[in-house]
Structure 1
Amino acid sequence: MMQASSRRRGFTLIELLVAVAVLAIVAVLGWRGLDGIVRSRQALTEQMEQTRGIQLAFAQLQSDLDHLALRKQLRSRENMSADTGRFALVRTVLEEGEPTRLQVVTYRIVDGVLTRRESLPTRDLLRLDILWQAALNNTDDIPGVVLQSAVDTMAARIWRDGGWQPIPAEAQGTQDVQDRLGLELTLQMRGQTGPLVKVFMLGEKN
């Protein structure tokens, strides 16, 4: 009788408390691991989206530079300008059945958002001067297309005369400019320790 009673005996209160404590510890560790995986996935997704946005922005700029207007087309006017948080250029617009026209394109950082604006194309150089000054003075009312957010700074340099040089922020008249072979664009992303640097080949000869 005593052996049968011993076999029917359940868990003691202490054993149940130990079991509950072990399960609680396992649950906490499992939750922390799952939370870490979810956070890592979110961070990776944000990083991938940022990388994709930057790649699209660089691809758009490459397309604009591929159609960069030559200074001889502009009668010695500047075809690009750079200042703090802004990069502007003049590109040619080629459409089937239409004559070649000129367009001002501006990349600008406003409140950490990189946007691209393009003016209406024109064949009138005087009209182009007005559009160019509006872009330089940030007075153009053209709606911008958002390319990337969380961008702190943007800087651009041009390769000419055998080295990297700053791009003038204002038109420099009919200055003697040697071959422009490359453009270096630097973006400092928010929260990143180092900047993103992209070099574009130009191959322009003035």
Structure 2
Amino acid sequence: MDTRRRGFTLVELLVAISVLAIVAVLGWRGLDTIIRSRAALNEELEQTRGLQLAFAQMQADCGRIAMKEDIGGRSMLLAQPGRLTMVRMVFAENQPARAQVVSYRIADGVLMRRESVPTRNLRELDAAWIEALGPSTKAPAVVLHNNVSEMAIRTWAGGNWRPAGAEPVQKPGGGVEEPTGVEVSLRLRDRPASLVKIFLLGAA
């Protein structure tokens, strides 16, 4: 009786190696897909988080918007295509309230926020307002997001939404109907839909 143990043949080894190679390739492709999906999801979450932070800053500014009687009857908000400018009140401990011009604008896909030096001088406030509406400003810019393709703005006045740049709503007895709310839509590049937020003016 032959008691010698029979080993694997060359064909069996080749078959086993081929099976292992196929399993390894399938496993690598599945792992690669998971890693790519995770990276894309993390990037999307980071982009959304950046927009949420930008909206949080806008909400804080809208909540502290100045009243017309506080700034001598001047305009406290102007909505233009791709640009939002407002006057907000700044409150510091042991100091009187001061007015500050804040502007949001998009330039080359970058959403930036600028603010002027707080002041109680209306002439200085007028100069800061004019500078904020101009093509360039000395106020330092804070980058809120660098992948924004569009910022659409509407204001709520006279019981209707008004697009940016629309003529102000006239009151029946004379004067202008001031907006009480603002809607901001931000769209990222390569994204089909916009993220929309509505803010009350003077809600804080």
Q: What is the TM-score of this pair, normalised by structure 2?
A: 0.88
The offset of 1:34, in angstroms, is 0.8
- Alpha-carbon distance in 1 for matches of 2:147, 2:141: 16
- Alpha-carbon distance in 2 for matches of 1:95, 1:16: 80
Q: Which residue of 1 aligns with 2:80?
A: 83
SS at match of 1:194: coil
Q: Which residue of 1 aligns with 2:194?
A: 195
SS at match of 2:71: coil
Question: Contact 1:84–1:153 (CA<8 Å) still a contact in 2?
Answer: no
Q: Which residue of 1 aligns with 2:53?
A: 56
Instruction: Give the superposed CA RMSD.
Output: 2.3
The offset of 1:28, in angstroms, is 0.9
Q: How does 1:12-161 map to 2 (within 5 A)?
A: 12-161=9-158
- Alpha-carbon distance in 1 for matches of 2:76, 2:168: 9
Question: Contact 2:111–2:143 (CA<8 Å) still a contact in 1?
Answer: yes
Question: Contact 2:64–2:201 (CA<8 Å) still a contact in 1?
Answer: no
More deviation in 8-17 or 57-66? 8-17
- Alpha-carbon distance in 2 for matches of 1:131, 1:179: 21
- Alpha-carbon distance in 2 for matches of 1:137, 1:73: 24
Match of 2:144, as an amino acid?
L
1:85–1:200 distance in 2 versus 1, CA, 3 Å: same
1:95–1:65 distance in 2 versus 1, CA, 3 Å: same
Match of 2:94, as an amino acid?
G
List per-residue Cα deviations over 1:126-180 (Å, max 9, x = no partner).
21111111111132122211212211010111111111002448999xx822252
Match of 1:181, as an amino acid?
T
Count of residue pairs the alignment pairs up? 199
- Alpha-carbon distance in 1 for matches of 2:113, 2:37: 32
SS at match of 2:150: strand
SS at match of 1:109: strand
- Alpha-carbon distance in 1 for matches of 2:123, 2:167: 17
Question: Contact 1:103–1:118 (CA<8 Å) still a contact in 2?
Answer: yes
SS at match of 2:127: helix
The offset of 1:20, in angstroms, is 1.3
Of the three residues 149, 162, 167, the one matched with 1:165 is 162
Structure 1 segments unaligned to the other structure (5+ residues)? none
Identity, % of aligned pairs?
Answer: 53
1:203–1:90 distance in 2 versus 1, CA, 3 Å: closer
- Alpha-carbon distance in 2 for matches of 1:106, 1:78: 14
Question: Contact 1:184–1:198 (CA<8 Å) still a contact in 2?
Answer: yes
- Alpha-carbon distance in 2 for matches of 1:168, 1:100: 30
More deviation in 162-171 or 74-83? 162-171
Question: Contact 1:82–1:155 (CA<8 Å) still a contact in 2?
Answer: no
Structure 2 segments unaligned to the other structure (5+ residues)? none
SS at match of 1:199: strand
The answer to whether residue 191 in structure 2 is matched with residue 182 in structure 1 is: no
